[in-house]
Structure 1
């Protein structure tokens, strides 16, 4: 595992305006300093095919580094719809969310709704409400595609955050937002673009897997398919950065001198047992021209604009 020669000049601020409007498993706000340090100093269009909470996207937008545009995607249709509604109809969404109540009976009434029977704004309001009021803020669907997390009983879950929603809406203007598989990215990414992959992580043990935020999961075959795509994009001249666990499978997939791997420590908060939460090693993997930047023995210090 090679160490990077890149340094940061001064402290990195992550309080930069727009921020995620949903809580999502594996959210990256706490890791923004490490992620920002590993990005190329310049790039063209930005792509994020496992957008989740979109922490890195919102950070880059706040820093004014997305002047060439961005494409966000995810396989989860409810999440993609929420992003599109926040971008295009945020004021209507705020009005609808303002009618919701933090009450257990109301929660289960909303949870029981079939999203496909709702209009886009109602669907987005449902997702944002359930995301903030469900137990542990965990989005999970069963095999039938039904949201099945119980009520959280939080006294003030703040599911309506007008300022955050409006800031996110401004940040999403002009951004392409699509539902689709990460494999579709091969048709979109061009040389000198930046792609950030944040897939469901490979489990560290057989009982540690968390891949059920959307139907279908993300198994070993999908991890290997992603690894092959990362190499193809890198060979095409695309800057690629990947986040994943430190599982032996990931070292096996991404081993080799053509890629760059760094280990970071991250806090894991999603576990039903508090004693199983805490700092764990995760990996950042680079491909393409970004590899040479990160391996430069005397990379030029730069300051990230806050």
Structure 2
């Protein structure tokens, strides 16, 4: 089977994958994704055999630990998740949520379990870095998807996984490489959900990203960026000599109010 994202992730790109493919370069050397998240575009490109080697990064260390475990120890992870302790009820959920396993396989099993059973599939931590999303009351979530974990593991075998600042994750990018930026979006309003890590992504970070995109453009890299359709972003990428701004409509799935999950305008920005 073709791999697909193993977690539900805020800002995940599953519904936008076909649009992203349409705007991606047809041929490129290595692939870089400094805000990896759920990895929807990577898995789509990988299933089409378009990736030679990928450099995948996310500032969320728990997420990258999970990818590393899936890459290196999928069988042990599947054995752990097969245990009866990972059942979907409220008491079990809060018991597992309160655990802080150090061992990577147990930590990853907990991470996947919470992602499948927490309210709306949110990943959110408090100021102390503690996961604080309540129980999701799902009837029968698929906590263990054995076939997909094995497919994800296979897709990651030749790739490099890191958890660092996005600029540091791009030190090996060179001419002909494809860099896809999918950062925490510029907020549409003050309540927009951007708490993926303890460190929020600021306006200054958005400017730093734009400057990095210009630097990569000068190197001869293919650059594609997803973000909100807001004036701040439109102004930031207004240099038509470098950037083309394409508008798309995306469903926003991670919102506690169903009526707020509708279609939202987003941008896909390219330098080619």
Range class of TM-score, shorter chain:
over 0.9
The structure 2 residue matched to 1:25, chosen from 2, 10, 22, is 10
2:161 aligns with 177
Q: 1:76 aligns with which of 45, 60, 82?
A: 60
Which of the numbers 150, 161, 183 marks the counterpart of 1:166? 150
**Offset at residue 186 of structure 1 (A):** 3.7
Query: Aligned partners of 1:185, 1:285: CA distance in 2, in Å?
Result: 20
Query: 1:22 and 1:95 mapped to 2: Cα distance?
Result: 18
Please give the root-mean-square deviation of Cα atoms over the aligned residues, in Å.
1.1
Aligned to 1:112: 98
Q: Is the 8 A contact 1:142 1:212 kept in 2?
A: no
Tell me the secondary structure at the aligned position of residue 88 of structure 2.
Answer: coil
Maintained 8 Å contact 2:228/2:267: yes
Deviations 1:113-147 (A, max 9, x none): 22xx4201011101000000000001111111110
CA separation in 2, counterparts of 1:239 and 1:143?
Answer: 36
Kindly state the Cα deviation for residue 72 of structure 1 after the two structures are TM-superposed.
0.5
Structure 2 counterpart of 1:255? 238
CA contact (8 A) 2:34 2:170 kept: no
User: What TM-score does the superposition give when structure 1 sets the normalisation length?
Assistant: 0.86
Q: Mark the structure with the bigger radius of gyration.
A: 1
1:102 maps to what in 2?
A: 88
Indicate conservation of the 8 Å contact 1:131/1:139, yes or no.
yes
Q: How many residues in Structure 1 have an aligned counterpart in Structure 2?
A: 269
Q: Which runs of 5+ in 2 are unaligned?
A: none
Whether the aligned pair in 1 keeps the contact of 2:57 and 2:169 (CA below 8 Å) is no
Aligned partner of 1:58 among 26, 30, 43: 43
Report the secondary structure of 2:269's partner residue: strand
Ranges in structure 1 where 5+ consecutive residues have no aligned partner? 1-15, 292-306
Alignment of 1:1-306 (within 5 A): 17-66=2-51, 68-99=52-83, 100-114=86-100, 117-207=101-191, 209-257=192-240, 258-287=242-271, 291=272
Instruction: Using CA pairs under 8 Å that are at least 6 residues apart, name the structure with larger relative contact order, 1 or 2.
Output: 1
Deviation by residue 1:177-216 (Cα, 9 ceiling, x = unmatched): 1111111134121110000000001111223x22111111
